[in-house]
Amino acid sequence: MTRDQLHDTILQILTEDFEFENPALDDNLRDDHGFDSIDAIELLGKIEGFLGLTLTREEKEQAMTIRTINDILDYIEKIQLQRAS
């Protein structure tokens, strides 16, 4: 998936499933949209679903640093690169 495709998919998930309104790439998910740890777990499940893979424990731990939509996109791209190697 390209970054643009990832961007569109993530925005669709955030607006439809988490009811974000007009999310910007650098919005702080927690502060600007009330995103909490339960939401993060649900989002990781959705990422696994659309990528068609199961995240490892290490990959899930890496997600703990995510704060923005750009961070989500970087995170997914990193996983895709690691899996392609």
pLDDT digits (tens, 9 = 90+) for 19-60: 999 999 999 999 999 999 999 999 999 999 999 999 999 999
Q: How many domains does the chain have?
A: 1
Residue 85's pLDDT is 79
Q: Name the pTM for this structure.
A: 0.93
**What CATH number did the domain enclosing 24 receive?**
1.10.1200.10
Domain with 22 in it: 3-84
Q: What percent of the chain has pLDDT over 90?
A: 94
Amino acid, res. 71: D
Instruction: Indicate if the alpha-carbon torsion angle 79, 51, 66, 6 is positive or negative.
Output: positive
Extract the tokens encoding 8: 């569109």
